[in-house]
A = this chain, B = another copy of it.
Amino acid sequence: MSMHFNRLVLPALLGASLLLSHGAAAQFGSAPLGAGPWDMQTYQAKINVSVVARGLAHPWSFAFLPNGDLLLTEREGRLRLMHDGKLTPEAIAGVPSVHAEGMLGLMEVLPHPEFVRNQYLYLTYHKKLSDDPKAIAFVLARAHFTGNALTDLQELLVSDTWDGAGGGAARLAFGTDGKLYMSLGATRDGAAQETNSLRGKILRLNEDGSVPADNPFVGKQGYRPEIYSMGHRNPAGLAVHPTTGELWESEYGPNGGDEINIIRAGKNYGWPLVSFGRDYPGPFISSVPWKEGMEMPVATFSPGISPSGLAFYTGKDFPTWTTSAFVGASRVGQIPGTGRMVRVFFDANGDERSREDLFTELKQRIRDIRMGPDGLMYFLTEEQDGALLVIKLAAK
Contact = CB atoms under 8 A, between A and B. Distances in A.
Interface of A: 19-20, 43, 255-256, 276, 278, 280-284, 287-290, 296, 299-303, 332-336, 347, 349, 351-357
A192 to B, nearest CB: 20
A276 B303 contact: no
Contact of A335 (B20, B43, B255, B333): B43
A352 B288 contact: no
A283 B20 contact: no
A333 B347 contact: no
A282 B19 CA distance: 36
Contacts of A355: 303, 332-335
Contacts of A299: 256, 302
A19 B300 contact: no
Given A276-B276, A355-B332, A349 B290 contact: no
A288, A300, A334, A353 interface centre (most CB from chain B within 10 Å): A353
A348 to B, nearest CB: 10
Contact of A352 (B282, B336, B356, B357): B282
Given A276-B276, A289-B289, A290-B288, A255 B353 contact: yes
B351 A334 contact: no
Nearest to A349: B282
B356 A333 contact: yes
A333 B42 CA distance: 14
Contacts of A300: 256, 276, 300, 302
Contact of A20 (B303, B349, B354): B354
Contacts of A287: 296
